[in-house]
């Protein structure tokens, strides 16, 4: 029996669940936070989605079938929670997803946890214009330095499709980054 199977047994054991879940938080909280943060943009929203993610993980552990690794399963939950959050915001404010992305960008510079320079701000503008799936693929490859086969395992998308999406996104970024105006995102002094 491997260590992940043992760990999962502890997670669903009544006597060891709390200690094992604390260890799970220590192991994956930061990694999942950044996955979520790249999708929802702001620190506060990412924390809310992360909390919802771990609630779903906690409740779902007894039903975890181990058809994938524990991290892959949690990654999917986090990604779906982030999309759910974005969709709820869209419905709550009766706006299009483009307007939601624009709103996130407008608050990005006000976020005390964002330390981006002009190039990073331009990149965020471009990424906000991508579909959630394109943005996720780009983030996992560019920021997380994941291999295409790892991304394929997490997303269920074929490697060839991932490569095409990633390199098309890189090409789009390269061709448009110099033409993006950053004035609306400048911090007020």
Q: DSSP string spanning 58-97?
A: HHHGGG---SS-HHHHHHHHHHHHHHHHHHHHHHHHT--H
pLDDT-derived band of residue 87, with 50, 70 and 90 as boundaries? confident
Per-residue pLDDT, 143: 82
pTM for the whole thing? 0.70
Q: What is the mean pLDDT of the chain?
A: 81
Q: Between 162 and 93, whose confidence is greater?
A: 162
Residue 147, sorted as left (phi over 0), alpha (psi -120 to 50) or beta, turns out to be beta
For residues 57 and 44, is the Cβ–Cβ distance under 8 A?
Answer: no
Say if 1-99 and 116-189 have the same CATH topology.
no
Task: Give the model confidence (pLDDT) of 95-154 as tens digits.
Answer: 554 554 555 555 544 554 545 556 677 777 788 788 878 888 998 898 888 899 988 888
Two structure tokens written together for 189: 């002094």
Q: Domain boundaries in the chain?
A: 1-99, 116-189
For domain 1-99, which architecture applies?
Orthogonal Bundle (1.10)
- The CATH class of the 116-189 domain is mainly alpha
C-alpha pair distances (Å), 103 with each of 21, 82, 95, 172: 35, 16, 10, 22
pLDDT tens digits for 21-70? 999 999 999 999 988 988 887 889 999 999 999 999 999 999 998 888 89
Q: What is the DSSP letter of 142?
A: I
């Amino acid at each position: 029996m491997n260590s992940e199977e043992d760990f999962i047994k502890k997670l669903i054991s009544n006597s060891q669940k709390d200690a094992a879940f604390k260890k799970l938080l220590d192991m994956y909280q930061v990694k999942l936070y950044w996955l979520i943060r790249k999708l929802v943009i702001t620190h506060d929203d990412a924390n809310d989605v992360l909390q919802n993610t771990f609630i779903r993980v906690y409740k779902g552990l007894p039903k975890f079938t181990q058809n994938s690794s524990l991290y892959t399963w949690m990654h999917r939950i986090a990604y779906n929670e982030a999309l759910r959050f974005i969709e709820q915001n869209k419905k709550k404010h009766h706006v299009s997803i483009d307007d939601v992305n624009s709103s996130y960008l407008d608050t990005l510079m006000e976020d005390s946890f964002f330390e981006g320079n002009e190039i990073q701000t331009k990149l965020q503008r471009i990424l906000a214009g991508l579909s959630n799936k394109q943005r996720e693929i780009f983030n996992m490859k560019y920021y997380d330095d994941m291999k295409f086969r790892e991304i394929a395992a997490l997303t269920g998308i074929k490697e060839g499709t991932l490569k095409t999406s990633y390199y098309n996104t890189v090409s789009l970024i390269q061709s448009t980054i110099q033409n993006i105006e950053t004035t609306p995102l400048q911090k007020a002094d």
